Amino acid sequence: MEFASWSIAVGVLLIVMALGSTVLARLPLSTSMLYLAAGLAVSPLWLNLMSPDPHEHTVLLERLTEVVVLVSLFTAGLKLSPGLGDRRWLLPLRLAFTSMTITVLGVAVAAHFALGWEWGVCILLGAILAPTDPVLASDVQVHRPGDRDRLRFALTGEGGLNDGTAFPFVMLGLGLMGLHEIGSYGWRWVVVDVLWAATVGPAVGALLGLAVGRLVLYLRREHKEAVGLDDFLAMGLIALSYGVAQVLHAYGFLAVFAAGVALRQLEQSQTPGESSRKAAAQARADPDKTLADAIAVDPRHAPAFMAQAVLGFNEQLDRIGEAAVVITIGAMLWAVHWHNAAWWLVPLLLLVIRPVAVAVGLLGSASTSGQRWLTGWFGIRGVGSLYYLMYAVNHGVPASVADALITLTLSVVVTSIVVHGISVTPLMAAYEKATARRRRR
């Protein structure tokens, strides 16, 4: 009966989400909040249908969050249509490097002086909590490839970049704890973990994204081959980019994000205009597969069709991944031994450290004061933080330290899901209205 009970619970949840999606979009609620509630319901706290333990199922949790983050990063890359020479890219780059570094240091300093922890543990905690999440931030991200709003573009790009730029700090924290080789005076960390991994990762992803995209377009345009199965193309490019980067000891997260960006840039460079994108959208919406097959191999429309098909599949996969991980987070809360530091660390991170880091990172930028304020508030923490946590635990973090890291990380993630979920609809609605008023002037 356990499988039958699971089937009923999952079926009810999915149908409710499908039927209530338009209503939910108007309410101060997010899908993640409902998934979190569903996770609590199926945990030992109520129905006892599942009882994941963050202290025991660390390998499974690392792999689950890893896959979900990879899909989300590729999706984020596909949404970013401005060319790399566009000045909008300066905003996510500032957030992913300057603001995130300040956040890591802010959390580390607070933990060191307030809790008396060693610097290695403090830096590791900062690296776990610093990156914003590409999975749970869909409501504040770019909605469509042509959307060039500075706020949404900055948050989308930051979510894609900083899930890779956080890795050097994770490795530094582990190195200071004696769990990773960083070399004398940190030379190996600088050369390998920072310069090599952070440079080769994006390069690998960009090259593979362009190469695979060009190959598919060549086969479709010239030989009318390789039509269909764009979902396989998406999953294959994600896996290939990540795998090659990992083999080269580079950051796979950055590689996958770069692969998505490269595929979108290829589409942008070869699509003659908006007519191709409209034709591709009509073909994908038409139940007649003949039209879709014809557009897929059309010399003018093939790039737009390929990009839209891959993005559409990835967005669906992204939603499924979000549901799986957030339900799991809710189901894990029964096993958490809450740490007193959570009461001050969570508000310190969300209300002080993140806004200050964003203010410094965007100092002198073209963004408005309202955009900077909203960027500072929507530093959503989620699946990425859980992945780094499990990665660290699986690399030998002592049990006593792991227990504290698990408690503080889940405290931040759950709080972020709730407070950002409540505030995202009214705040973004107000932002859209203010933006529309400025455009009419």
- Burial letters 303-334, b for 16+ CB under 10 A, else e: bbbbbbbbbbbbeebbbebbbbbbbbbbbbbb
For residue 50, what pLDDT is reported? 85
Of the CATH numbers 1.20.1530.20, 3.40.50.150, 3.30.930.10, 3.40.50.970, which one belongs to the domain with range 2-50+60-440? 1.20.1530.20
Q: Identify the burial level of 84 via C-beta atoms within 10 angstroms of its C-beta, where 0-12 means exposed, 13-18 middle and 19 or more buried.
A: exposed
For residue 1, what pLDDT is reported? 42
For residue 305, what pLDDT is reported? 83
**Dist CA 330 CA 325 (whole Å):** 9
**Dist CA 83 CA 264 (whole Å):** 9
Q: Domain coordinates of the chain in residue numbers?
A: 2-50+60-440
The H-or-E segment that residue 200 falls in is helix 197-223
- Return the residue matching tokens 């002086």: 113
What's the one-letter identity of residue 370? G
Alpha helices in 224-367 (DSSP H): 230-247, 252-270, 274-285, 289-297, 302-332, 342-348, 354-361
Spell out the per-residue pLDDT of the chain, length 441, in tens. 466 766 777 787 778 777 666 766 777 778 888 899 999 998 998 888 888 899 999 999 999 999 999 999 999 999 887 777 788 899 999 999 999 999 999 999 999 999 999 999 999 999 999 999 887 777 788 776 667 788 999 999 999 898 778 999 999 999 999 999 999 989 999 999 999 999 999 999 999 999 999 999 998 888 888 787 788 899 999 999 999 999 999 999 999 999 999 999 988 887 766 767 777 777 666 666 677 778 878 778 888 888 888 888 888 888 889 989 999 999 999 988 888 888 999 999 999 999 999 999 999 888 888 999 999 999 888 899 999 999 999 999 999 999 999 999 999 999 999 999 999 888 988 998 888 887 776
DSSP state of 43: S
CB atoms within 10 A of CB 231: 15
**Dist CA 87 CA 93 (whole Å):** 10
Tokens of 290: 């003949």
Of the candidates 407, 404, 383, 387, the residue with the CA atom closest to the CA atom of residue 395:
387
What's the one-letter identity of residue 353? I
For residue 49, what pLDDT is reported? 83
Tokens of 255: 């590689």
**Dist CA 100 CA 211 (whole Å):** 32
**Dist CA 154 CA 296 (whole Å):** 31
Distances (CA, A) of 236 to 145, 226, 240: 22, 14, 6
**Dist CA 251 CA 169 (whole Å):** 13
Distances (CA, A) of 138 to 69, 157, 159, 379, 421: 13, 12, 10, 12, 11
Of the candidates 367, 369, 385, the residue with the CA atom closest to the CA atom of residue 149:
367
**Dist CA 14 CA 9 (whole Å):** 9
